[in-house]
Structures are given as structure tokens and as C-alpha cells.
Amino acid sequence: MILDAKRRLFLKGSMAVASVGLAVAAGLLSPRTVLANWNAEAFGAENLDAALQSGFGSTALEDSDKIELDLPDLAENGASVPVRVSTTLEGAETISVLAAKNPTPLAATYHLGDSGVRSVAMRVKLGQTGEVIGLVQANGKLYAARRSVKVTAGGCGG
């Protein structure tokens, strides 16, 4: 009886793998149709102004108290710094996180849609001490909250 169950499980798995293989071969599943939209120019920009211009079409940021940026003032391990950005701005379309001193400042952009969710959390890599910006695009404008984060490497300060 156990042998029959194992045989059935093997046949089901084989059929699933064969079905996915046929779909890939037929072009029904391809990375281009499954992966998110990628703005390579914005994520590859090497300075803050270039990232803002190519990602959002403007470098004009308006500071807002309706954006909450939650992250530590001191990051002992710059490889994994927790960041949470939330907003109460009406009409928020995207929430982005930028690390001004990183070689490529734009860390993430989240498209909010009509879900009602106005908060994102992630971990970012910070190469050195610098400013982290929580950016919200709403009603055609860019709003920002900023925090300076000191990154230490083994307690040596940076």
C-alpha cells in the first residue's frame, strides 16, 4: 500500500514538472511576463539627483510631517538595517527608500495602488554613515522624510 502512494506522488510530481516545462517551452511562462517592472536607469543611478530624476522625473522634494520614517539612529551592521516608511498623505501612489551615500541610492520603490496599504517595511544595506530618505509620491508631488543613520563596522564608527 505504501508503494502505491509513493508511486502516485512520483507520477503527480512528474506531471507537474512536465506541465511547467511545456509552458516554458511554449513561451507561456517567461521572466519578462512574470517579473516586476524594472526601472534600470533609476536603480542604477550613481547619485541621489540622478536617481530622483530618472525614477520620478523631478529632484524637488517637499519635507512632510505626514511621513513616518522608522529606523535606528545607530546601525551596528550596515548590511541589514530595518526601515519602515508609512504615510497619511491622501493620494499616495508610491513609497520609496533612498540611501543618499550608497553607490546606487534608490533601494526600493513600492507601487501602492488602491489597496489602502500606506506602509512598507524592508531591510536596506547602508555602505556608510549618511541620510536615509523615505519618499512618497502623491498628487504629482514628491514628499520626503529624512533621517541620518550612523553606520558602525564592528563598533569602530564610520
Give the tens place of pLDDT for each residue, 92-149.
Answer: 999 999 999 999 999 999 988 877 779 999 999 998 999 999 999 999 999 999 999 9
- pLDDT above 80 for 35: no
Distance separating alpha carbons of residues 129 and 99, to the nearest angstrom: 10
Closest to 117 measured CA to CA, from 140, 137, 94, 96: 94
Q: What percent of the chain has pLDDT over 70?
A: 84
Mean pLDDT of the chain: 85
Domain ranges of the chain: 2-33, 38-151
Buried b vs exposed e over 122-151: b needs ≥16 C-beta within 10 Å? eebebeebbebbbbbbbeeebbbbeeebbb
85 pLDDT tier (thresholds 50, 70, 90): very high
Fold category of 38-151 in CATH: Immunoglobulin-like (2.60.40)
Question: ∠ CA(37), CA(94), CA(73), 5° rounding?
Answer: 110
